[in-house]
Structure 1
């Protein structure tokens, strides 16, 4: 069974993004290279668990993190499940495999003060790029959307009349997110500068570069990193930390976990619960101050 068929299955049936599919294919091709070197070009689809385990040992010895190794093995597992589904494999060699242990990764969100500093002091809106950058930060913090979702927002996705934004998430699943006043104002401010760019009358996407072309993910990362590195001492200043801040701050203020799940576009509560550790800490403070039996 060709890898091309597997790639098409992920794209067309599973509705994975091209970026995700490329990551799956790279992992499988990496295992194939290992087999070419160590097992006389044995095919990925024909090996047993012993060969896979040898690859895992090699990856561990090369210093690759357990988290990354687990992801690579997950890619292989998805491929084998596809082969089972298409009746090109009788037994999944990873059926009894147990993932390597991974330490819990605590992602600290930006504080409310850090967000306020960036939005009210660090970014001075006086031209196209500063208005765009301000809106990008405001949008991430007000909606919790993913970086790829922000990049792909179209003008037609914004409904100021109904105060909502349509977002196309993973597996092409649509969701609608409310727009708050500060975000609506930022959209209007940016639109004034955006409309002054040449030759964009028919350009669909909201966020553009100063040359009038669609913005790209790495530029969005650099924008967030630039402003938050000035306002925060955190080692990581990325769009995902803003998404984390959105969820954590909502939960700290008493938002329902299921509501946050829907806003984030998660398919399960388990994915949303990783954001609750800071909320638990906040609850402990409230509990300690408020409970009548706490005499401290």
Structure 2
């Protein structure tokens, strides 16, 4: 009964999605089965029993991220029960989330990427070819996010200072430098855009073939098409190019704080994940090159 009340609360008051409701219900059903096997009702659960339940999940092979989701659901459930007067205490409060292993950013080999971009530069036959190549060069050359790319307007490019005004997360503005080759590419592209799309042309830098602002799925598809030619890895998204940009800078000795500013990270902790990538890369080079490795 208490479980149904809680799910109705999530459904009608919190407006959780049907998918989330199903996930919560599954977690609570598992917990209810555990309580049944221990001959305990939900009102009699204490911290030691809650901790024992979490330990059984780990012993049964559940991943840390999955266990942490269970902890989150149970904490929310008992918080609701306590507020509703259905229990006298919340035994889940002291439960701590498990340390989940950090996933290293997925990148592509910069040598392959650079070679591919140079080859494509010599094969451009149309406005769309020029635009698609510029998208790849911007993502890899600046490390900007997809949303930031879509927000760039023609006026945001300062050719004299060789930088682009980027509107990032939480409406934070930063200035990102661009190299001379990219400056020239943007100039040529804008010139081609004006001659090819004279009517109803958007003020956004990257536009569709009809002159409308580019959209996320369009960029995803062109990035995937480009990356498919050089890698078979599952992840081939715009964010892979952002990761590749940061890793390349770090490999070439760039300061971590500078990379943080270029990427628009709020704190250094987020940027530090790239140091692991570089360390793994050094290990690989060592194993391949050292005679005793």
Q: Would you say the 8 A contact 2:164–2:177 is kept in 1?
A: yes
> How much does 1:220 deviate?
0.7
Partner of 1:200: 200
If the length of structure 1 is used for normalisation, what is the TM-score? 0.67
* Change in CA separation of 1:220 and 1:286 when aligned onto 2, cut-off 3 Å: closer
> How much does 1:168 deviate?
1.1
TM superposition outliers: structure 1 runs of 4+ over 4 Å:
1-7, 24-38, 64-78, 91-95, 281-288
Q: Would you say the 8 A contact 1:132–1:190 is kept in 2?
A: yes
Alpha-carbon separation, structure 1, partners of 2:232 and 2:108: 10
Partner of 2:80: none
Alpha-carbon separation, structure 2, partners of 1:177 and 1:255: 15
Count of residue pairs brought into register by the alignment: 252
Structure 2 residue 182 is matched with structure 1 residue 183: yes
Structure 2 residue 113 is matched with structure 1 residue 134: no
Q: Would you say the 8 A contact 2:106–2:235 is kept in 1?
A: no
Trace 1:1-296 onto structure 2 (pairs within 5 A).
Answer: 67=65, 95-122=93-120, 124-195=123-194, 196-201=196-201, 203-281=202-280
Alpha-carbon separation, structure 2, partners of 1:72 and 1:139: 41
SS at match of 1:276: helix
* Change in CA separation of 1:282 and 1:169 when aligned onto 2, cut-off 3 Å: same
* Change in CA separation of 1:119 and 1:286 when aligned onto 2, cut-off 3 Å: closer
SS at match of 2:164: strand
Cα root mean square deviation, aligned: 4.5
* Change in CA separation of 1:75 and 1:36 when aligned onto 2, cut-off 3 Å: closer
Q: Would you say the 8 A contact 1:117–1:231 is kept in 2?
A: no
Alpha-carbon separation, structure 2, partners of 1:184 and 1:166: 14
Q: Would you say the 8 A contact 1:27–1:75 is kept in 2?
A: no
Question: 1:178-222: per-residue Cα shift (whole Å, max 9, x none)?
Answer: 111121112112112211214235x22111110211111111111
Question: 1:42-96: per-residue Cα shift (whole Å, max 9, x none)?
Answer: xxxxxx999xx9xx9xxx9xxx976478589879999xxxxxxxxxxxx999754
Q: Would you say the 8 A contact 1:152–1:205 is kept in 2?
A: yes
Alpha-carbon separation, structure 2, partners of 1:76 and 1:206: 48
Q: Would you say the 8 A contact 2:145–2:239 is kept in 1?
A: yes
Note the residue ranges of structure 1 that are not aligned, 5 or more in a row.
8-23, 39-47, 79-90, 289-294
Choose 1 or 2 for highest CA Rg: 2
Q: Would you say the 8 A contact 2:144–2:263 is kept in 1?
A: yes
Q: Would you say the 8 A contact 2:28–2:74 is kept in 1?
A: no
Q: Would you say the 8 A contact 1:154–1:205 is kept in 2?
A: yes
> How much does 1:118 deviate?
2.3
Alpha-carbon separation, structure 2, partners of 1:186 and 1:261: 26
> How much does 1:126 deviate?
2.1
Question: 1:92-150: per-residue Cα shift (whole Å, max 9, x none)?
Answer: 99754433553332334211221112211145222111111111110011110111111
Alpha-carbon separation, structure 2, partners of 1:32 and 1:282: 40
Alpha-carbon separation, structure 2, partners of 1:157 and 1:4: 44
If the length of structure 2 is used for normalisation, what is the TM-score? 0.67
